[in-house]
Structure 1
Amino acid sequence: MTRKFADQIKPLEVAIVGCGRVARKHLRALTDNRRYLIPAALIDPNRMAAEELRDILPKKRVRELPYFASLGKYLASRVERQAGATREKADRFIVAINTPSSSHYELATEALAAGADLLIEKPITLVPSEGYKLIEMAAERRRLIATGHIYRYFPLVNEIREALGQGVWGRPLAAELSVCWGHSQAYYDQAAWRGTWSNDGGALMNQTVHALDLLCYLLDSPLVSVGGQIDRVAHDIEAEDIGMAIGHTAAGTMVKILGTTATSPQRKTAEFTLHCENGTVIAGICGKRPYFKIHSETSAGKRCRILAAQWRARRENGLGLMIRGWINPHTAIYTDLAKAIIRDMRKADGSYAGAASLADKSVEVRADALGAVQAVENILAIYASAKANGCVVSIPVQGFTMEEMCDYSFAEWR
């Protein structure tokens, strides 16, 4: 998509539902993407939370950003506002859902029914069947769903994925995944739903799900079986604050998983290591800084080529937006979603300027809804295995939901 075309498009309105911690990243990301997007509303039953969020905007923008106590009230006001306008077709707009996980499905269905495209924070839902219903509903209405799986937007991700797909380092044999994303008790105490089985889950569902999703994305192969254990060692919560598992992907790669929030909050790290036939790929984030290493006979040359490809791929957005996307991956998610919506709008009215082969393909975002549902299925499978004393289970575990964990006792397996 060229800048010239983007400048001809009216910025898409974005309503932020849920004004907690993560919403700050969303609002800053919208400011970074002001060429494509414009904040349209802050929605939260707690008006004070919305006011505090609005304070991060320049004063002249604050007056232009209305508050609503519910998504329904915002959607009703939008209908009234557009009723007097003369349009051949309805404007596209985005609803970003940042509320407790158990509320995602209800809010998403309400927004889709009103014609919105969606950005849903992870996990997309706590019940996989609900996620699949959202995918079907979006397809019926020709709307897009992006999810908050930010690791897919870290630097070099697509370049490493392409190299793995081309067999540059041979077949992936094994993968090690470690997420030590420490949180204090205060993190869980700030909201009653945090760390609960029915509304949130623990270290695996909230922190480790990012990295496990990225690993499956890089390998382009889903997990098909897993066996694991969980425990609660450092926090006063219902769910786990540490978990470990061993699994296999559909392509036969063995995966070792560690996820915990019990480590020091001062040093948050997430890292994966891919052991391939002819090399090893290491990537991760430490202190908010992504990094990667390649060990093979041609590692130096391949590393330079990957960096060059990354630079070329990012140049079209400009250096400033590229850097902001690295600092706040939500910026990159919104850029991706906005461009996908604009491409879809152009395809719908016959003005798509891409190659004919691309015009026939469906418009997608990198952090798609299907991958997000599969990520939830992976974590639920680890929970199901833990409840079965570590027995290996196939993925998906039919009929298993977070509610099954409400009676789980961490003393059972000791």
Structure 2
Amino acid sequence: MSKKIGYAVVGLGVGKSHAKAAYSSENADLIAVCDLIPEKLKKAKELFPEVLTYTDFSEMLKNPDIDIVSIAVPSGDHAKLAVEALEAGKNILIEKPIDITVEAAMKIEETRVKTGKIAGVVHQNRNNANMKPMMDAIARGDFGKIYYGDFEVKWYRTQKYYDEGGWRGTWAMDGGGSLMNQAVHTVDLMQWIMGDVESITSLIGIYAHEIETEDFTASLIKFKSGAAATFVSTTNAYPGLNTGIKVYGTKGSIECDGDSILLWKREDAPEDEEETMISNYSGNSAATALDPTLCTGHTSMVEDIIAAVRDNREPQILPLEAIKSVRIVNAVYESAKTGKTIYFD
């Protein structure tokens, strides 16, 4: 039997999901966790009794049993810790966004190439069960030429959410607000579905929170294919409404809310096709009940990086791919601040 992959996590906010996935994996051992807050380490020890706990990241990296480190600290520190881990000989999985600027994210890519280690980025919504049939159908041309997309992340966050984190809603560490933090997964899906961006025109505002950045954005995006999209993000939509992913082609339309298909209409489709698609893909839980081999959420990302290290292959999402969504988010903010349309090369 091959040796299990040694796994570690730094940052026990969303990093708890990484730790749980590694702990449950048949192909890895959760070796260590690191956080600056002792109470979080205490809770981790209760969940994972054999795990080693650290408050010093550099000290944790000295552990030779660790093969992979998940980086799940505040976004503005991603590149700093990722580079340190790579230079220490560790493979890495980085939470979204890869970092808050393209320049910082490129340091990760440069260090990955220099060290030869494996670096993946978390954009787990690509593995939602409804995404594969949708992407396959679009690729086959089942919906004709895609001309328009409508994407909306209408969530709700209290002022307490921003106050407790300390770093959320700041330019220095969050890199933005509703768009960079809550909606970046959907930005990733948008560019994955619609293709390369040509231009972005945006406005942003702060309407319901005391923060530096924004709690609402609205953008018009043109793609190099000639298609267009609208994108709205907010953390003001009480009590938290939807994650709309709507794509329209010349021969059909698809509308989703997060991991659920709500509408699936095609010219000349079999009579029961829409009913079947809506029933089978009414959420990850429903799809997994039909196909227990499906792997979704953070588990899919953790299992992918474990397999990549074990098999010496590339992970699902490389740094250069993850940088695309950061470039789009930064362009939205630049457009809003300057009042100009931002053009991509």
What is the TM-score of this pair, normalised by structure 1?
Answer: 0.76
Partner of 1:102: 76
Distance 1:268 1:148, change over 3 A: farther
Identity of aligned residues (%): 26
Instruction: Classify the secondary structure of the residue corresponding to 1:214.
Output: helix
Q: Name 2:250's counterpart in structure 1.
A: 277
1:331 aligns with 2:307: no
Aligned twin of 1:213 = 188
Alignment of 1:134-173 (within 5 A): 134-173=108-147
Residue identity matched to 2:303? T
> Secondary structure of 2:317's partner?
coil
SS at match of 1:377: helix
Kindly provide the CA deviation profile for residues 71-130 of structure 1, in whole angstroms up to 9, marking residues without a partner as x: 200112x14xx6xxxxxxxxx711111111111111000100112111111111112022
Kindly tell me the number of residue pairs found equivalent between the two proteins.
Answer: 337
Question: Which residue is 1:295 aligned to?
Answer: 265
Question: Structure 1 residues 382 and 173, CA, compared in 2 at 3 Å: closer, same or farther?
Answer: same
1:255 corresponding residue in structure 2: 229
Q: What corresponds to 2:44 in structure 1?
A: 53
**TM-superposed deviation, 1:137:** 2.0
Partner of 1:86: none
Partners of 1:54 and 1:379 in 2: how far apart? Answer: 37
Runs of 4+ aligned residues of structure 1 deviating over 3 Å after TM superposition are 289-292, 299-308, 318-322
Gap runs ≥5 in structure 2: none
**Aligned residues of 2:202 and 2:336 also touching (Cα < 8 A):** yes
Larger radius of gyration: 1
- Residues 179 and 17 (structure 1), Cα distance of their counterparts in 2 relative to 1, 3 Å cut: same
Q: Which residues of 2 match residues 313-324 of structure 1 at below 5 A?
A: 322=294
Match of 1:383 in 2: 333
Corresponding residue for residue 405 of structure 1: none
Distance change in 2, residues 1:222/1:50 (3 Å): farther
Specify whether residues 271 and 367 from structure 1 end up closer, same or farther in structure 2 by C-alpha distance, changes over 3 A only: farther
What SS is found at the alignment partner of 1:375?
A: helix
**Alignment counterpart, residue 18 of structure 2, candidates 9, 22, 26:** 26
Partner Cα distance (2:74, 2:204) in 1: 22
Q: Structure 1 residue 52: deviation in Å?
A: 2.1
In structure 1, C-alpha distance between the alignment counterparts of 2:256 and 2:317, rounded to whole Å: 19
Q: CA deviation at 1:227?
A: 0.3
Residue 156 of structure 2 is aligned to residue 182 of structure 1: yes
- Would the alpha carbon gap of residues 154 and 234 (structure 1) be closer, same or farther in structure 2, given more than 3 Å must change? same
- C-alpha separation in 1, matches of 2:2 and 2:164: 40
User: Would the aligned equivalents of 1:378 and 1:395 in 2 still touch at CA under 8 Å?
Assistant: no
Secondary structure, aligned partner of 1:122: coil
Q: 1:68 aligns with which of 42, 45, 54?
A: 54
1:369–1:268 distance in 2 versus 1, CA, 3 Å: farther
2:199 is paired with a residue whose SS is: strand
* Counterpart-to-counterpart distance in 1, 2:15 and 2:293: 19
* 1:342-400 superposed Cα distances (whole Å, 9 cap, x missing partner): 221xxxxxxxxxxxxxxxxxx333333222111000000000000112x211137xxxx
